[in-house]
């Protein structure tokens, strides 16, 4: 269970952070990734930017647009991963890609093999049609590439939750709130406990909760409800956006953000 989230073994919540590849630019992002590794972050959910995401709020949608304007696509992201992954000591990289925009035009087995060869530690494929899923699961199994599956608190059917539990081999992403990224449940996270317990019966991989997790207090709350890890997206992307807008050092600003959310955080010296 601790493969993606080392802190679980110590009783601490695992931490995954979402960023779009290309926001900041890939050269700056490399330094940011090394900082996350030094800072003890468990996982980077690194997205291949794609337009018109219906599940993302305005902060992440603007991030997609900035990255796309720099010409960042799947090939550039895989080259980036292949360059940085061998230099990481702790941080895992889970690649997030939209099936229709980034994957559909390529043979599934081929593109999954390319992702595995680049060094991604896992794959979250967004909006995979039901007819495509069997081939996707087989291709990832054949390539030895762990899968991140998703389901929604209160919204996903028992069938969807069972499929997510069955096929998750990296971690299971439980979305806390049906809606756009950056939103949290109106009544807080407390009702997640039942959903987490239900999923726990059918999976042995870590259960990570995202959407609306913005602070150290949120991390602590969600962990206390039974989640193994949390995924922080919009709050961190907003810090990147602010740093870019005011011409500040993105890596330094994001390091400050990590300090604010990491419950067991000790930031080491940034590598040169």
31, 56, 98, 228: the active-site residue: 56
In a domain, 124, yes or no: yes
Show the tokens assigned to 25: 């630019």
Q: What is the CA radius of gyration of the chain?
A: 17
User: How far is Cα 119 from Cα 158, in angstroms, rounded to an integer?
Assistant: 33
Active site residue 56: yes
12, 23, 45, 241: the active-site residue: 45
User: How far is Cα 190 from Cα 97, in angstroms, rounded to an integer?
Assistant: 30
In a domain, 272, yes or no: no
- At 234, which CATH number? 3.20.20.70
Query: How far lies 82's CA from each of 78, 118, 120, in Å?
Result: 6, 5, 8
What is the span of the domain harbouring residue 176? Answer: 14-260
Q: How many domains does the chain have?
A: 1
Active site residue 253: no
Query: How far lies 36's CA from each of 90, 129, 196, 246, 262, in Å?
Result: 9, 33, 27, 22, 11
β-sheet bridge partners, residue 207: 172
pTM for the full model?
A: 0.93
Are 16 and 42 contacting, i.e. CB atoms less than 8 angstroms apart? yes
In a domain, 7, yes or no: no
Are 91 and 44 contacting, i.e. CB atoms less than 8 angstroms apart? yes
In a domain, 59, yes or no: yes
Are 235 and 60 contacting, i.e. CB atoms less than 8 angstroms apart? no
Mind spelling out the 3-state secondary structure of 33-93?
HHHHHHHCCCEEEEECCCCCCCCCCHHHHHHHHHHHHCCCCHHHHHHHHHHHHHHCCCCEE
User: How far is Cα 165 from Cα 82, in angstroms, rounded to an integer?
Assistant: 29
In a domain, 249, yes or no: yes
Element housing 240 (H / E): helix 234-245
**Tens of each residue's pLDDT in the chain, 272 residues:** 447 887 776 788 999 999 999 999 999 999 999 999 999 999 999 999 999 888 788 999 999 999 999 999 999 999 999 999 999 999 999 999 999 999 999 999 999 999 999 999 999 999 999 999 999 999 999 999 999 999 999 889 999 999 999 999 999 999 987 555 545 555 678 899 999 999 999 999 999 999 989 999 999 999 999 999 999 999 999 999 999 999 999 999 999 999 999 876 544 444 54
In a domain, 244, yes or no: yes
In a domain, 9, yes or no: no
Pairing mode of beta strands 14-20, 43-47: parallel
β-sheet bridge partners, residue 36: none
Q: Give the other-Cβ count within 10 Å of 38's Cβ.
A: 20
Tens digits of per-residue pLDDT, 70-117?
999 999 999 999 999 999 999 999 999 999 999 999 999 999 999 999
Tens digits of per-residue pLDDT, 143-152?
999 999 999 9
Sign of the CA dihedral 212, 186, 166, 3?
positive
In a domain, 265, yes or no: no
């Amino acid at each position: 269970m601790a493969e993606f989230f080392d802190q679980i073994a110590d009783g601490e919540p695992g931490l995954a952070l979402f960023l779009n590849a290309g926001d900041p630019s890939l050269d700056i992002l490399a330094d940011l990734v090394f900082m996350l590794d030094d800072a003890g972050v468990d996982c980077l959910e690194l997205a291949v930017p794609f337009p018109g995401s219906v599940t993302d709020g305005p902060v992440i949608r603007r991030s997609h647009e900035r990255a796309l304007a720099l010409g960042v696509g799947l090939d550039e992201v895989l080259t980036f991963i292949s360059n940085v992954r061998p230099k990481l000591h702790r941080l895992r990289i889970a690649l997030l890609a939209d099936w229709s925009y980034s994957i559909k035009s390529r043979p599934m087995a081929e593109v999954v093999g390319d992702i595995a060869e680049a060094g991604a530690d896992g794959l979250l494929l967004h909006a995979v049609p039901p007819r495509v899923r069997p081939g996707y699961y087989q291709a990832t199994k054949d390539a030895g590439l762990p899968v991140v599956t998703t389901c929604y608190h209160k919204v996903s059917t028992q069938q969807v939750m069972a499929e997510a539990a069955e096929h998750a081999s990296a971690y299971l992403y439980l979305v806390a709130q049906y809606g756009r990224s950056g939103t949290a449940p109106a009544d807080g996270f407390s009702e997640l406990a039942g959903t987490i317990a239900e999923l726990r019966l059918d999976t042995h991989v870590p259960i990570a909760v995202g959407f609306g997790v913005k602070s150290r207090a949120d991390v602590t709350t969600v962990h206390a409800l039974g989640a193994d890890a949390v995924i922080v997206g919009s709050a961190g992307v907003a810090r990147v956006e602010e740093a870019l807008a005011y011409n500040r050092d993105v890596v330094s600003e994001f390091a400050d953000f990590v300090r604010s959310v990491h419950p067991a955080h000790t930031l080491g010296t940034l590598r040169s």
